[in-house]
Structure 1
């Protein structure tokens, strides 16, 4: 049986799929199977996949309907044979030694349940845009500067702030731990990976490869969480609630995480894009995390009013100054 199972779930990414498959088949590490799941594509994806089925490592799965990719990844993990599992997006790419480097971490450190590599963000044409280190530098500029092995629970102190494991295509997990942690929650379209990593790290350590070996593609078809801030906010709170109930939160939790989240929630409500039931769920989670929620909401609203009044006052002063300058100019 292969040591590693790699799963690609694809939906209409024919433009990138050939490169994605080739970058995996050409890895320096060879002991793997590649499960390619087509999720009801209507472009030329099936034709591209069929081009590779003569390779004994390739296991194709074709579905006529498009459903949550997390559902497809979960199913593929169940039929996979490898001890290690890599969940891959069909539009990403990677360095030829990525799998080798990540496999070494799991082979040499049995306490590690998840190993991941630094990622580079690329555009439609593969041009480098930035390193994801920029995304984590605000939390700790040194932590992701070199390889490390860390306690999973210790690493979770960063997950309170954001998902610091930014892209699943650069993450290698022990398949057993993936399954025991509940796999992806298909009810969380934006944060299922974030929640999964939190659960895995409660029971295992983590390894990081600082060399940027994973290339995450950003393009117009990528699902954007900021299109549904209400859903993303609720999912973020579910992750926070899970972490809060299993770990001591950072000392700055209230000022840097909790209060700003209240402000975000109030802005979502003001935008008119949230639902009553969704706001009820968000309220309950916030109240469970900290019973002083009502006081903090009022305090936040007062600060918003003060800012608006200050802006109005500054605007009025500016108008008065402009009017005086105009009056003086025509005397």
Structure 2
């Protein structure tokens, strides 16, 4: 903390080949009305000019810290950022995204006013080219879809089992909760933030929405990669939902909530278990028995041959998908 006893906020920015955009993102953070921050840039093995861009910025502001690692993926980069963070709170910001000028200040005030909160999250918008043209969904729609959540893990957990309710940089998180929860799952190459929020909540987190229109984040949508990213997200959603059923999260799927959960999950059941078989193997007898108990032998046979046919078409891509 500084002499004014203001909490230090660590802004963790992983970057892989975003030398063309990371300067805008870092300058956006430096322009925050709240000044007691540290910016931790994790260069995840970039092959472009990321290092030189960040080095130039460091010369003008010592709140910026640069760390390099061989390319290990987004989760591993965030994990290194967590290890390096000295702050009381952390904000995970991707190298091409932006936050509103007063966002950090308003979150710190939110924590100060309500000390029981572990995760404070704000509104979030998507944009493509013009930051003034904002959308509420990744599909660039304007419908209001975000749930406003405020409560402890027992009340909020079911909503997150159904869907991911916030982009990663909309949240500011107490470092003490991060220390309790641990690191991001490096096996999740997409939706790793959803997986992380589930684990935070299961560790007892209290989450609260910061209802202030001056606190928001902007997520950049790259049109070239949209379809690829969507396919990747679908794949990892199947894996995540399979993991949900395997973990102690099952205690939350009680009689009251289970029908709602299944309403969302049912259309995905065959794909969930298809990818599960591709991941765990065609001859994993114990796992096949578990699947049979959940969906029945006839559906298992359908799913098994569906997985086999997909493996024939894409033998390497699906077994080692990233």
Same fold (TM over 0.5): yes
Instruction: Please state whether the residue corresponding to 1:160 is helix, strand or coil.
Output: helix
Aligned to 2:164: 163
1:1-331 aligned within 5 A? 1=1, 3-54=8-59, 55-63=61-69, 65-126=70-131, 128-132=133-137, 143-144=147-148, 149-165=150-166, 167-202=167-202, 203-210=204-211, 211=213, 213-219=216-222, 220-221=224-225, 224-227=229-232, 229-242=234-247, 244-249=249-254, 250-253=257-260, 255-265=262-272, 275=278, 277=280, 284=287, 287=290, 291-294=293-296, 297=299
Tell me the distance in 1 between the aligned counterparts of 2:24 and 2:73.
Answer: 23
Tell me the distance in 2 between the aligned counterparts of 1:119 and 1:279.
Answer: 41
Instruction: Please state whether the residue corresponding to 1:89 is helix, strand or coil.
Output: coil
Superposition deviation, residue 214 in structure 1: 0.2
Superposition deviation, residue 121 in structure 1: 0.4
Change (3 A) 1:227 1:87: closer
Compare 105-114 and 154-163 and name the one that shifted more.
105-114
Superposition deviation, residue 221 in structure 1: 4.7
Superposition deviation, residue 230 in structure 1: 4.1
The alignment's C-alpha RMSD in Å is 3.5
Change (3 A) 1:285 1:191: farther
Tell me the distance in 1 between the aligned counterparts of 2:236 and 2:195.
Answer: 14
TM-score by length of 2: 0.77
Superposition deviation, residue 265 in structure 1: 3.8
Deviations 1:29-66 (A, max 9, x none): 11111111212222222221012112121111133x32
8 Å contact from structure 2 (residues 253, 261) kept in 1: no
Aligned to 1:319: none
Unaligned 5+ segments in structure 2 are 2-6, 304-322
Q: Please say which structure displays the higher CA radius of gyration.
A: 1
Instruction: Please state whether the residue corresponding to 2:86 is helix, strand or coil.
Output: coil
8 Å contact from structure 2 (residues 17, 48) kept in 1: yes
Change (3 A) 1:17 1:230: closer
Change (3 A) 1:244 1:181: same
Change (3 A) 1:230 1:132: closer
Instruction: Please state whether the residue corresponding to 1:172 is helix, strand or coil.
Output: strand
Superposition deviation, residue 175 in structure 1: 1.1
Tell me the distance in 2 between the aligned counterparts of 1:82 and 1:116.
Answer: 17
8 Å contact from structure 1 (residues 120, 128) kept in 2: no
Change (3 A) 1:74 1:61: same
Tell me the distance in 1 between the aligned counterparts of 2:210 and 2:288.
Answer: 35
Aligned to 1:327: none
